[in-house]
Amino acid sequence: MSVKQTYKSDLEIAQSTELKHIKGIAQSVGISEDDLEMYGKYKAKLPLHLVNEEKIAQSTLILVTAMTPTPAGEGKTTTSIGLAEGLNKLGKQTTVVLREPSLGPVFGMKGGAAGGGYSQVVPMEDINLHFTGDFAAIEKANNLLAALIDNNIQTKTNNLGIDPRTVEWKRVMDMNDRGLRNIVTGMGGKSGGMMRETGFNITAASEIMAILCLAKDIDDLKQKIGNIYIGDTFDGKAVFARDLGAQGAMAALLKDAIKPNLVQTLEGNPAIIHGGPFANIAQGTNSIIATKMGMSLTPYVVTEAGFGADLGAEKFLNIKCGYAGFSPKAIVVVATVRALKYHGGQKLEDLKEKNTMHLVKGLVNLEKHLENVKLYGVQPVVSVNRFSSDSDEEIEIVKERCAELGVKVAVSEGWEHGGEGTTQLAEEVLKAVEECTQPFKPVYDWNWSVEDKIEAVARKVYGAREVEFLPKAKQNLKKIARIGLSDKPICIAKTQNSLSDDPHELGRPQNFTLTVREIEIAAGAGFCIPITGNMLRMPGLPAVPAAIDMDIDNNGKISGLS
Amino acid sequence: MSVKQTYKSDLEIAQSTELKHIKGIAQSVGISEDDLEMYGKYKAKLPLHLVNEEKIAQSTLILVTAMTPTPAGEGKTTTSIGLAEGLNKLGKQTTVVLREPSLGPVFGMKGGAAGGGYSQVVPMEDINLHFTGDFAAIEKANNLLAALIDNNIQTKTNNLGIDPRTVEWKRVMDMNDRGLRNIVTGMGGKSGGMMRETGFNITAASEIMAILCLAKDIDDLKQKIGNIYIGDTFDGKAVFARDLGAQGAMAALLKDAIKPNLVQTLEGNPAIIHGGPFANIAQGTNSIIATKMGMSLTPYVVTEAGFGADLGAEKFLNIKCGYAGFSPKAIVVVATVRALKYHGGQKLEDLKEKNTMHLVKGLVNLEKHLENVKLYGVQPVVSVNRFSSDSDEEIEIVKERCAELGVKVAVSEGWEHGGEGTTQLAEEVLKAVEECTQPFKPVYDWNWSVEDKIEAVARKVYGAREVEFLPKAKQNLKKIARIGLSDKPICIAKTQNSLSDDPHELGRPQNFTLTVREIEIAAGAGFCIPITGNMLRMPGLPAVPAAIDMDIDNNGKISGLS
C-alpha cells in the first residue's frame, strides 16, 4: 500500500552506510586523538575536561519535542537528527545530543531509538545493544546500594538499625520484566537475609540514571549519590546512602559512564549520546554533561526530550535547565498527519487513509502543546514529519492552522532525504533563534510547596481541572518535607499517551482530575516523583516481543532490529 | 611486622606503571591496528578470525592450579602472570590467558582478580570494574530469557503452556546479594505476572557464562543457547530456549562479549582476559575462544583454573579440554608456606609466624593435589609463592618434600620481582613441557552414567569414601536422562575451602561422604551441575564489604580497590 514498504529498513540503511572513523568525527570538532577513548572504530567516550564554559555560553541550544505520541510513531529522534543534518548543510556546525536507548523497548514494543530512515545515528546496532556500557554501570551502582542495604540489615557489624519495612530503594534492570515489579526477597531462612516486599524498576527510571544525568562532575556525582534516601531506622530516622559509605564504590562503578559518548550521523556529523531516562517515568532528557559537551564542541546543538511536550520538554525546562542554567533558543514541536488524525479519532489501522475531518479535529492536541511552549516564553516551530501516505491537502491543513496561530512551520523529510529534506525546517529554526531575546520562564518556582508545583504543571501544562492526592501520596508529602526535598523540582510520572493521566483520553482532554497515587523520593537526584494514574516504573513485554525477530549471523551481522 | 606492609599496594603499583598503548601490545603478537577494537588506549577486543588452528596445534599450553585455598590467599593469578613474565624473559614468547573478575568478590571479601604486586595485568581498575562489559552482556542475555519465559506464561499469544512451578531458569546478577537468592516474583495481581518461587544466581554461575566460555563461534553460541532447558509444560514436555525463539536476540546481546579482550602485564607482555565462571559453583576457566586466541598469538600460553586442583583444574581438564581438544603440557600447582601451615592447623592470624610442625602436617593437602595431577598423566610443577614472612627453613621443607616425591619445584617471587622472580619456575616448567609426550587422561569417560562420573571425581579427586544422593538429586537424575544430558560431562559445585564438601575439613580429608543435594541442568552448556554440601550459587556480602573502602576522586582516580 505504501511506497515505504519497499524501502530499506533502518538497519539496512545503517549497515549499508560507510562510516567515518570516529577519529575523523572528533577531529572535525577539534578533539585530538589523544583525548578520545575509543570503543571500537566508531564510538568514543569524551573526557570531561573538554567541557568549556566559555564556548557553552556562545552556543545555541535547540530543543526538539512533540505532540502527544501515538502507536504510529512520530519520529522525534529522526527529526532531531535530520534537523542537525539540515543545519550542518546550511553551514551551521551542529551536534545532535540524544539519549541512549534502553533495552526494554528494544526487546519489547518500540524497537531501537537511533532515529530512522536517512536520519539515523550510527553504528545503530551498537547504540541499541549495550552501547558503551553506561546502562549496565548505572544498573550495577544502583544494585550495589541495594545489596549493601540488605547486608546492613542482615549483619551485626555497623548495623544502622534500618527497618526493612521502610526501605524504599529498589533494584533495577534494563529489561521489560513485569514479573520483577513486585517481589519478595530474602526468603530461605536466616542465611537468606531479612524477608521483605520490594521490586525492580527499569534502569531508565533509576535514581542513579537521574543523578548521572544531572551531575556536573565526579565530586558532584558522589555527593548526590551520598544523598540518596534509602528508608528509615526503627526509631524513625532517615537513612541515606552516605550512612552506608556506599557513594565511593558506586561512583567508582560510574567512572566511565559519566563520560559522554561520541558517534556520528549518517551524514558524518557529530552526535553525542549519553544518559537515557524515560520521559514518562523519569526526567526524559540526556545528561547535563552531554549537552554541555555538545555546546563545547559546536556553535549549535540540537537535543531532544522524550515523548510529548507535557513530559520531556516540561522536565527539560523545569528540572534540567533549572539545574544547568540552559535556555533553549528555539523549541521544535514534531507533529505528523497520522498522529493528528489519531488524536482526531481515526483508528490506528486506518492512519494511512486520507481523512481531513479527523485531522482537523486532532489539531487541538498540537495546539495545546504549542500553547504550552509559549507558556515558557519561547516561540515554537512546528516540524511536520512527512510520511509517504500523507496527502498534500492534509499537510496544507496543518501548515494553514500554524499560520493562523502565528507559529512557524516546516515540513521535514529527513526520514527520506536526510539533511536535504530538512533545510527548510533548519531555516525556520534559525529564524526562531534569531528572534529569541529572553531566557525561558519556568512553569513553577522551586520554592513553592510540592502540591503547588504539581498543581501548576497539572493545570497549566496538562490542562487538568484539579489534582487529587491519594492517601499514600499525602503520607509521602510529609516524608518529603521531613527529608528537606520540598524546595526541589518535581518529576511527574504520567502516561505519554494522553495529556491527562488516562492513556485513553486523546486530543485535548479537559475538566479532568489528575490523580497522584504516591510520590517517590529521589533525594540524591534532587527531585520527587509524583506518580499519577496507573503508571508503572517497570514495564512488561508485549504479547509478541520484538526480541523474537532478532538474529545474528556467524559474522556478527545483526538482523531484525528496528 | 612484615616488610610487605610498607610496600606499595597493588593499585598503587598498577597506577604508577607506564602502560604501553594497546596497539603496541597487539603489534608485538602480529595483530594489525585494523583488527583491534579498542576500548580506550589500553584494552581491545580481538576479532574471532584471528583464531588460527595451525598455530594452536603448535602452541604449548601450561595450566596453573593450586593446593586448597585459604583465607590468606595463595596468589594463583599472580603466579600465572609472573610465570608468563618469566617465560618471556627466557625468550619464550608467552601470552597469559585469564578469567575476568566478578564484581561480587570485588565488592565483597576477596577484592580484585588481576594479580598482585609486580605480577599484575593492567589497567587493573578497568579490569576489575566492568572491564569491556562482558559480564553485563551475559547478565542481560540471561535475564532476557527469564523475561521471555515469564511473558510467555503471562500472555495468551504463542503460549507454550509452561508450568510456572517447573521453571528452573533463574535470573542472574553480578553482585554478592543474598537477598536475591530465594525470591517470589510476579506479585501485585494479574498485571504483575504469574506468582512463582525463583531466585538469582551470581552472573559467574550463569549458564550463559558457561556457554560463552565453551562456544566455538557465534553459530555454536546460538545453538547452545537454543538448547537451554527452561522447565516443563503442564503436560510434562521439556521446554527449551529455542521454543521461545530467544536464541537470536540473546546471541545478538553477546555480539561483543564473545570476543576475547587483550590487555597487558606490568612488563608489557600480552594478556588475554575473557570469561569468568567461578570454579566452585561453575566451570572455573576462561573461554575456549580466549585460550585458542592466546595459542594463535604466541608459542606459549599460561592459563589458570580457579581455586584448588580439585575444582578448576578438574573441570578444565574433564570439561573444557574435552570440548576443545586442548592438552596442557605442564600443570603448575601453586603452594604457599602460609597455606600449608593453615592446612596443618595453624590459625589464620598466626600464619606469619614460623611453625615447621604445622607446615609438615599441612603438606598432605599439597600431596593430594599432586597425586591428582599425576592421575591425569601429567607431571606437576610445584610453585612456592614466596611471602616475606616465610622463613628459609620452611621453604626448604617444602622443596625437600617435593624432591622426595620426585616433583619439580621452584620458588616464585613474581609478586615482589615480576618476571625476574620467576625465571627459575619458568625453567622448571619448560623442562616439564619437554618431558611431556602424551596427552592427558581424563578422570572419567563422558559415556559413563552421571552417578558414576560423580563417584569418579568424588573418590579419585576429592578422596571421598562414598557419594550420597539426596532425594531431590535422585529426582534430578531422571530429568537429566529425559533431557538427554547423561552423556555429557559434570560440573560439580563444591566448597573451595576443602577437598571434601565440608569447608571446615582442612588438610587431606578421608573417609568422608560427599552429599549431592541437587543437580542443576545446563543443557545449553552441555553439562549438569551436581550441588554438594551447602554450596550456594548466589553469595552474600561479608559483614564489612570491600565496597566501603573504595573511592574515586574528581579526576577519576580510584582508591581502595585491592
How far B141 CA lies from chain A's nearest CA (Å)? 10
Query: B64 and B75 in contact (C-beta within 8 Å)?
Result: no
CA distance B558 to A249: 9
CA distance A179 to B418: 50
Interchain CB contact of B550 with A (< 8 Å): yes
Let me know whether B407 and B267 are in one domain: yes
Let me know whether A425 and A303 are in one domain: yes
In a domain, residue B537? The reply is no
In a domain, residue A431? The reply is yes
Q: Residue B290 to residues A204, A513, B261: CA-CA distances in angstroms?
A: 33, 60, 8
Let me know whether B29 and B83 are in one domain: yes
The model's pLDDT over B140-153, given as tens digits with 9 standing for 90+, comes to 999 999 999 999 99
What interhelical angle do B356-375 and B392-405 show, nearest 10? 30
CATH number of the structural domain spanning residue B461: 3.10.410.10
The model's pLDDT over B94-108, given as tens digits with 9 standing for 90+, comes to 999 999 999 999 999
SS3 for A117-173, per residue? CCEEEECHHHHHCCCCCHHHHHHHHHHHHHHHHHHHHHCCCCCCCECHHHCCCCEEE
Cβ within 8 Å of residue A21, ≥6 positions away:
A41, A42
Which residue stretches of chain A have pLDDT < 70?
1-6, 110-111
Q: Which residues of B485-506 are buried (b: 16+ CB within 10 A; e: fewer)?
A: bbebbbbbbbbbbbbbbbeebb
Query: A218 and B554 in contact (C-beta within 8 Å)?
Result: yes
Let me know whether B231 and B356 are in one domain: no
In a domain, residue B443? The reply is no
What interhelical angle do A134-154 and B134-154 show, nearest 10? 80
In a domain, residue B551? The reply is no
Let me know whether B281 and B427 are in one domain: yes
> Does residue B4 carry a pLDDT above 60?
no
CA distance B269 to B304: 17
The bridge status of strand B94-98 relative to strand A558-559 is unpaired
- A4's torsion region: left (phi>0), alpha (psi -120 to 50) or beta? alpha
Query: A80 and A167 in contact (C-beta within 8 Å)?
Result: no
Contact list, A156 vs chain B (CB under 8 Å): 543
| DSSP category for residue B295 | H
pLDDT at B2: 40
In sequence order, what are the beta bridge partners of B66? Answer: B334
The model's pLDDT over B230-245, given as tens digits with 9 standing for 90+, comes to 999 999 999 999 999 9
Cβ within 8 Å of residue A408, ≥6 positions away:
A379, A380, A381, A382, A402, A428, A431, A432
Let me know whether B277 and B246 are in one domain: no
User: Which residue is closest to A106 within chain B, CA to CA?
Assistant: B249
Select from A378, A538, A511, A363 the least CA-distant residue to A443. A378
Q: Is B75 annotated as a binding residue?
A: yes
Last residue of a domain, one of B410, B435, B460: B435
Query: A369 and A308 in contact (C-beta within 8 Å)?
Result: yes
Please provide residue B310's backbone torsions phi and psi, each rounded to the nearest 5 degrees.
-70, -25
Let me know whether B128 and B148 are in one domain: no
| DSSP category for residue A493 | B
Q: Residue B6 to residues A61, A549, B3, B12, B388: CA-CA distances in angstroms?
A: 54, 58, 6, 12, 12
Q: What angle do CA B308, B310, B312 make, to 5 degrees?
A: 65
User: Is A129 in Cβ contact with B130 (below 8 Å)?
Assistant: no
Q: Tell me which of A15 and B333 has the higher pLDDT.
A: B333
Q: Residue A336 to residues A117, A397, B411: CA-CA distances in angstroms?
A: 16, 12, 75
Query: A337 and A394 in contact (C-beta within 8 Å)?
Result: yes
| DSSP category for residue A540 | -
CA distance A388 to A386: 7
Neighbouring C-alpha atoms within 13 Å toward the C-beta of A3: 5
Let me know whether A302 and A371 are in one domain: yes
CATH number of the structural domain spanning residue A128: 3.40.50.300
pLDDT at B77: 95
Which chain B residues in 287-306 lie under 8 Å from chain A, judged by CB atoms? none
Contact list, B186 vs chain A (CB under 8 Å): 178-179, 182-183
- Grid coordinates 516564553 are at which residue? A377
* Numbered residues of the known binding site of A: 70-77
Q: Cis peptide before B105, with omega less than 30 degrees from 0? A: no
Query: B523 and A221 in contact (C-beta within 8 Å)?
Result: no
A99 is catalytic: yes
Select the residue of A183, A219, A542 nearest B554 (Cβ to Cβ). A219
In sequence order, what are the beta bridge partners of A183? Answer: A198
Which ranges constitute the DSSP H helices of B418-470? 423-435, 450-456
B204 is catalytic: no
Q: What angle do CA B68, B74, B78 make, to 5 degrees?
A: 130
In a domain, residue A353? The reply is yes
Interchain CB contact of B32 with A (< 8 Å): no
- Band (pLDDT 50/70/90 cuts) for residue B110 is low
Interchain CB contact of B41 with A (< 8 Å): yes
- Active-site annotation holder among A278, A316, A387, A512: A387
How far A126 CA lies from chain B's nearest CA (Å)? 9
User: Is A178 in Cβ contact with B154 (below 8 Å)?
Assistant: yes
Mean pLDDT value across residues B72-85? 95
User: Is A545 in Cβ contact with B148 (below 8 Å)?
Assistant: yes
CATH number of the structural domain spanning residue A186: 3.30.1510.10
Report residue A233 as a C-alpha cell. 531506622
Cβ within 8 Å of residue B322, ≥6 positions away:
B442, B446, B489
Count of C-beta atoms within a 10 Å radius of residue B449 = 13
Neighbouring C-alpha atoms within 13 Å toward the C-beta of B122: 25
Cβ within 8 Å of residue A470, ≥6 positions away:
A515, A516, A517, A518
* Numbered residues of the known binding site of A for ATP: 70-77
The model's pLDDT over B151-181, given as tens digits with 9 standing for 90+, comes to 999 999 999 999 999 999 999 999 999 999 9
B238 residue type, one letter: A
In a domain, residue A559? The reply is no
Let me know whether B431 and B297 are in one domain: yes
The model's pLDDT over B409-429, given as tens digits with 9 standing for 90+, comes to 999 999 999 999 999 999 999
Q: Which residues of B194-212 are buried (b: 16+ CB within 10 A; e: fewer)?
A: bbbebbbbbbbbbbbbbbb
User: Is A148 in Cβ contact with B175 (below 8 Å)?
Assistant: no
pLDDT at A6: 59
Select the residue from A552, A553, A562 to test the B interface by mutation, using most B Cβ atoms within 10 A: A552
CA distance A448 to A311: 20
| Reported pTM | 0.96
Report residue A186 as a C-alpha cell. 530474602
Select the residue of B132, B248, B547 nearest A148 (Cβ to Cβ). B547
As for the ipTM of the complex, it is 0.96
Q: Is B71 annotated as a binding residue?
A: yes
B387 is catalytic: yes
Contact list, A182 vs chain B (CB under 8 Å): 186-188, 192
Select from A357, A362, A356, A360 the least CA-distant residue to A342. A362
Report residue B304 as a C-alpha cell. 589458570
Let me know whether B120 and B216 are in one domain: no
Interchain CB contact of B38 with A (< 8 Å): yes
- Active-site annotation holder among B169, B326, B415, B527: B415
**Enclosing domain of residue B471:** 450-532
Neighbouring C-alpha atoms within 13 Å toward the C-beta of A541: 31
Last residue of a domain, one of A222, A253, A284: A253
Select from B275, B247, B248 the least CA-distant residue to B261. B275
Contact list, B158 vs chain A (CB under 8 Å): 543-544
- What DSSP element (H or E) covers B531? strand B527-532
Q: Is B77 annotated as a binding residue?
A: yes
In a domain, residue B555? The reply is no
Report residue B424 as a C-alpha cell. 627459575
In a domain, residue A443? The reply is no
Report residue A337 as a C-alpha cell. 498527519
User: Is B147 in Cβ contact with A175 (below 8 Å)?
Assistant: yes
Count of C-beta atoms within a 10 Å radius of residue A295 = 26
- Active-site annotation holder among A17, A60, A68, A78: A78
Cβ within 8 Å of residue B105, ≥6 positions away:
B111, B112, B113, B176
Domain count across chain A: 3
Neighbouring C-alpha atoms within 13 Å toward the C-beta of A104: 22
| DSSP category for residue A546 | G
Contact list, A146 vs chain B (CB under 8 Å): 177, 179
Contact list, B176 vs chain A (CB under 8 Å): 147
Select from A90, A93, A78 the least CA-distant residue to A413. A78
Distance of CA A524 to the CA centre of its chain: 19
User: Is A40 in Cβ contact with B40 (below 8 Å)?
Assistant: no
User: Which residue is closest to A217 within chain B, CA to CA?
Assistant: B554
CA distance A230 to A47: 31
Let me know whether B152 and B197 are in one domain: yes
> Does residue B3 carry a pLDDT above 50?
no
Last residue of a domain, one of A253, A286, A305: A253
pLDDT at A110: 67
The SS3 of residue A464 is coil
Select from B179, B111, B538 the least CA-distant residue to A146. B179
Which chain B residues in 432-471 lie under 8 Å from chain A, judged by CB atoms? none
The model's pLDDT over A203-228, given as tens digits with 9 standing for 90+, comes to 999 999 999 999 999 999 999 999 99
CA distance A415 to A109: 20
Report residue B204 as a C-alpha cell. 559467574
Interchain CB contact of A550 with B (< 8 Å): yes
pLDDT at A536: 87
Let me know whether B283 and B406 are in one domain: yes
Query: A500 and A510 in contact (C-beta within 8 Å)?
Result: no
Which ranges constitute the DSSP H helices of B406-517? 414-417, 423-435, 450-456, 471-483
Q: Which residues of B411-425 are buried (b: 16+ CB within 10 A; e: fewer)?
A: bbbbbbbbbebbbeb
